[in-house]
């Protein structure tokens, strides 16, 4: 049986304790029960910022649609869009996180 990385938190979660965490993810970032990695980590670490490729972090943005940075409605976290003109995080986007 394949075990997803988010389901093997015991191997790496302690490395995130006390750190400001940024997460690059998309709608496929889930556990085997389809719980979002965002929602799982939000409860266990200091998740401070999300980074999103095309379609947004929750899959609610149409393909090819240009999207400005926004706030995730479920967590209230800022989401930096890495699609369109920005394909990699800028130094400014990373300035308030310790682990990406």
Which residue, among 87, 86, 66, 70, has the nearest Cα to 78 in the 3D structure?
A: 70
* pLDDT tens per residue across span 8-60: 999 999 999 999 999 999 888 999 999 999 999 999 999 999 998 876 777 67
* pLDDT tens per residue across span 54-78: 767 776 766 666 777 889 999 999 9
Position 85 scores a pLDDT of: 76
Position 55 scores a pLDDT of: 66
For residue 83 the two structure tokens come to 């699609």
CB distance 48 to 79 below 8 Å: no
pTM: 0.87
Position 87 scores a pLDDT of: 81
CA distance 78 to 91: 16
Containing H/E element for 94? helix 91-94
Q: How many of the other CB atoms lie within 10 Å of CB of 52? A: 24
């Amino acid at each position: 049986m394949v075990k997803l990385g988010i389901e093997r938190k015991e191997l790496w979660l302690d490395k995130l304790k006390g750190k400001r965490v940024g997460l690059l993810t998309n709608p496929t970032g889930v556990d085997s029960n389809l719980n979002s990695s965002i929602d799982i980590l939000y409860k266990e670490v200091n998740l401070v910022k999300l980074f999103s490729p095309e379609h947004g972090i929750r899959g609610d943005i149409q393909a090819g649609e240009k999207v400005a940075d926004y706030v995730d409605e479920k967590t209230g976290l800022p989401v930096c869009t890495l699609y369109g003109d920005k394909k990699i995080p800028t130094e400014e986007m990373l300035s308030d996180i310790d682990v990406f």
